[in-house]
Amino acid sequence: MKDKQALTEAPPNTSGVTRRSFLKAVTGTAAGIGISQVVNPTFIHALEKGLKRHPVVWLQGQGCTGCSVSLLNSTSPPIADVLLKIISLQYHPTVMASEGKDALGNLFAIAKEYKGKFSIAVEGAIPTAENGKYCIVGDYHHKEYSMMALLKELAPQAGSVLAIGTCAAYGGIPAAKGNVTGATGVMDFFKQEGIKTPVVNIPGCPPHPDWIVLSIAHLLEKGIPELLFFGENIHDNCPRLEAYEEGEMSEIISSPKGCRMDLGCKGPDTYADCFERKWNSGLNWCVDNAICIGCVEPGFPDASSPFYEPS
Ligand code: FSX
Ligand code: SF4
Ligand code: SF4
């Protein structure tokens, strides 16, 4: 995605979040990855000038809320600082206190006030069958809103849309074989509807909290990011690659050694930086205790199913 977004002119950062703690979180230095590997120096420079608050509304379609839970696991800086001080989270169905027509009224008021300058974070797929009736997200002045109708109304007014998680990016689990709801990812949905608002895909089921936070940071300071975290092949960088090359295969999932290809590992078909960034604040990652199931890939989950059988 090459289009550059006109960024919000927001008040200077008064968050008290230090540049150091923010950089640490967004670059994954806690997990041992250097900033130069994921962002270029002009971006660091932009952060030095001060972070800006940016209105974000978070909409949930067909998902499991795992993407929100993953983001809430951001620890450095604490997620409260990210959501309330770095960005200005104005609407989130899981964490906001308001509900019903007050909540939707607030959402529409924000879209009007910040027209062209706010971002929409979409979590979950958009069901398009039966005119969107499989996912009703609210009622406003006796008008029922489906996720599809809400996005059709709000997306053209937004400056950018973040498709958070594989469901929002590509359809994911709701779009898997057998789906009757017409579950669709944001980019495909926009194509169908002729919506031109730029979209940033942040796949993963769920996405790593750093992927979400750093993408937002990039959006605030540098505009729409190009490929950030999904350029490297898992298998080519796996600590078990040597075992693979020597034909030493794990036979059981609890085996601390050996390549897990025979157990169904989809690392060879998957591109993400999990092997280096790791999960759970750098503690471990899927291949340590199980296998990579290719959760960031456009064909997930059908293309990597059955998970525990070799492809
Ligand atoms: Fe999908 Fe988000 Fe997977 Fe779940 O809601 S990306 S099912 S982890 O959490 O949308
Ligand atoms: Fe490749 Fe998976 Fe084996 Fe690692 S465990 S070397 S990613 S197949
Ligand atoms: Fe997804 Fe594979 Fe990364 Fe695990 S290792 S989070 S399954 S891409």
User: What is the torsional sign of CA 39, 42, 45, 50?
Assistant: negative
Residue 296 in contact with ligand 2 by CB distance below 6 A? no
- Cα–Cα dist 17/78, whole Å: 9
Residue 260 in contact with ligand 2 by CB distance below 6 A? yes
205 is catalytic: yes
Tell the residue nearest (CA) to atom 1 of ligand 3.
295
Summarize pLDDT for 60-80 with one digit per residue, the tens.
Answer: 999 999 999 999 888 766 777
Please, what is the angle between helix 147-154 and helix 186-193, to 10°?
70
Summarize pLDDT for 197-228 with one digit per residue, the tens.
Answer: 999 999 999 999 999 988 888 888 788 888 88
pTM of the model: 0.85
Tell the residue nearest (CA) to atom 5 of ligand 3.
292
pLDDT band at 128 (very low <50, low <70, confident <90, very high): very high
Residue 162: strand pairing partners: 121, 200
**Statement: residue 40 has pLDDT above 60:** no
Tell the residue nearest (CA) to atom 3 of ligand 3.
274
Q: Which of 178, 150, 14, 143 is nearest to 84 (CA)?
A: 14
- Cα–Cα dist 308/311, whole Å: 9
Summarize pLDDT for 289-309 with one digit per residue, the tens.
Answer: 999 999 999 999 999 999 999
**Statement: residue 54 has pLDDT above 90:** no
Task: Determine the pLDDT at residue 7.
Answer: 33
Task: Determine the pLDDT at residue 23.
Answer: 53
Q: Are strands 160-164 and 126-127 parallel, antiparallel or unpaired?
A: unpaired
Catalytic entry in 54, 92, 167, 208: 167
Show the DSSP H helices in the chain as ranges: 19-27, 35-38, 41-48, 66-72, 79-81, 100-113, 147-154, 166-170, 186-193, 209-222, 241-245, 274-277, 286-289
135 is catalytic: no
**Percentage of residues in the chain having pLDDT higher than 90:** 64
> Residue 46 has which token pair?
């932009």
- CA 242 / ligand 1 centre spacing (Å): 33
**Statement: residue 135 has pLDDT above 90:** yes
CB 165 within 8 A of CB 206: yes
- CA 311 / ligand 1 centre spacing (Å): 23
